[in-house]
Each structure stands twice: as structure tokens, then as C-alpha cells.
């Protein structure tokens, strides 16, 4: 995970863009490259046997599908199914945000899709891992026109943005820690934007964080 984050940071320095902000394919490709750097062979998009769980009675339908990534680590193969979402932090005085709900939905969605490969993986003695990539940003208008004026009054805009990012990331980590009570295998890495010279992205958002959440099935 640290190597993946370092590669994202290097890309930002050289090209001014962050791969972690894009779709799951970009993230799994970067994660595979990071794995090779750590002497862990990895391959993206191999064909594997899957089962479609519809919730209807009867045996789940089998089919051949693409796996996001397979990874060899600690003498064991891991089959990884990944999903990606972007959260727009809403920094309000009442603390309300759809980020917490979307975070849980992202984890649940990644685990649901990973389940499709579980039977075939276990037949070969391998493990299945659900990976949830995420990126997050702070809306510019939540700082400039937000209800919580205490964030802006007495502080510069840059300081207010950093405070918002720190607060929202802390709340997200707290939610992940509580979710561990339901999913004991859950692990995560959250990388916060610590650049004190923040620039608006697309004129409407401030980059806040990116990360990855994994759990074994």
C-alpha cells in the first residue's frame, strides 16, 4: 500500500495529476506495479471462473469473467476484486454527510463482487480479497459559503481547507475502525493531502485524500 501511495505521489510531482482519482483499472494497474516493486508478482485482468449470485433459489450461475488482479504474496496467491468511488466531503456545522454511507456501500459492493470468484479460488487453495479504492475532495463552496463560519472567521482560506480535510479524514477513519467490528479482516490505508499550498481541482474542489480498503472473504 505504501509503495502504491508513493507511486501516486511521484506521478503528481512529475505530471501534476493523481492516478488514484481515476477508475479502478488505473488503481489496480498502479497497485500491480507497486507489488512488482516489492517483489510480489501481480497480473491484472486474468480470466477466472465466477458465479453470479442473484438472490433467487437454485445454484448460482457459473461463467468465465475477468478478475481485477491476482497477487502472489507470502507464498500464497490472492485474487483481488476492486471497486472505486469518489467522495465529496461536505463540511457542515451539523456534521451531516453522505460520505459515511457511501463508504460502507463501497466496501459492501467490493465484497459482493469478490464473492463471485470465491468458489474457484478456494478450489485451488487461494484466497479472495475485496479491494475498495477511494478518493475524496472538499467542495470549495463548503469552505467559502458554509454554515460553520468559525472555520473561516479568524483563519485564512488555506488554513480552513486544511482543517476541513483533517476533520473529515479523522471522521472517515473512525468509521472504518467501527466497521472492523463487522468485518474483522478489514485493513485500510488513508493518505491525506498535506500540501499547504492547495489548489482547486477543476475550480470547484480541493483534493483531500485517497486510499484503499481491503478485506478477505
* Burial tier of 46 (Cβ tally within 10 Å: 0-12, 13-18, 19+): exposed
How large is the angle between the packed helices 99-114 and 157-179, nearest 10 degrees?
Answer: 40
- In the chain, what are the domain boundaries? 2-53+62-216
- pLDDT above 50 (res 205): yes
Q: How confident is the model at residue 176 (pLDDT cuts 50, 70, 90)?
A: confident
Q: Region 85-110: what's the mean pLDDT?
A: 74
* pTM recorded for the entire structure: 0.82
Task: Provide the residue count of the chain.
Answer: 217
State residue 88's pLDDT score: 77
Instruction: Identify the CA nearest to 217 among candidates 189, 185, 187.
Output: 185
Q: How confident is the model at residue 84 (pLDDT cuts 50, 70, 90)?
A: very high
- How does pLDDT run across 123-155, given as a tens digit for each residue? 888 899 999 999 888 776 665 544 444 444 444
Higher pLDDT residue, 176 or 162?
A: 176
Task: Return d(Cα 42, Cα 210) in angstroms, integer.
Answer: 22
Task: Return d(Cα 17, Cα 212) in angstroms, integer.
Answer: 18
Amino acid at each position: 500500500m505504501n509503495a502504491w501511495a508513493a507511486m501516486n505521489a511521484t506521478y503528481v510531482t512529475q505530471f501534476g495529476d493523481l492516478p488514484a482519482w481515476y477508475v479502478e483499472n488505473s488503481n489496480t494497474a498502479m497497485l500491480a506495479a507497486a507489488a512488482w516493486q516489492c517483489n510480489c508478482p501481480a497480473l491484472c485482468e486474468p480470466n477466472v471462473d465466477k458465479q453470479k449470485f442473484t438472490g433467487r433459489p437454485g445454484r448460482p450461475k457459473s461463467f468465465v469473467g475477468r478478475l481485477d488482479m491476482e497477487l502472489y504474496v507470502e507464498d500464497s496467491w490472492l485474487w483481488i476484486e476492486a471497486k472505486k468511488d469518489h467522495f465529496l466531503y461536505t463540511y457542515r456545522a451539523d456534521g451531516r454527510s453522505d460520505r459515511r454511507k457511501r463508504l460502507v456501500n463501497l466496501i459492501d459492493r467490493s465484497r459482493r463482487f469478490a464473492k463471485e470468484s470465491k468458489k474457484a479460488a478456494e478450489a485451488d487453495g487461494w484466497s479472495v480479497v475485496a479491494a475498495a479504492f477511494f478518493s475524496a475532495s472538499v467542495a470549495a463552496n463548503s469552505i467559502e459559503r458554509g454554515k460553520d463560519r468559525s472555520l473561516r472567521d479568524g483563519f485564512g482560506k488555506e488554513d480552513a481547507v486544511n482543517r476541513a480535510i483533517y476533520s473529515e479524514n479523522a471522521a472517515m477513519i473512525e468509521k472504518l475502525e467501527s466497521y472492523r467490528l463487522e468485518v474483522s479482516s478489514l485493513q485500510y490505508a488513508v493518505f491525506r493531502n498535506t500540501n499547504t499550498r492547495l489548489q482547486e481541482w477543476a475550480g470547484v474542489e480541493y483534493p483531500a485524500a485517497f486510499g484503499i480498503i481491503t478485506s478477505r472473504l
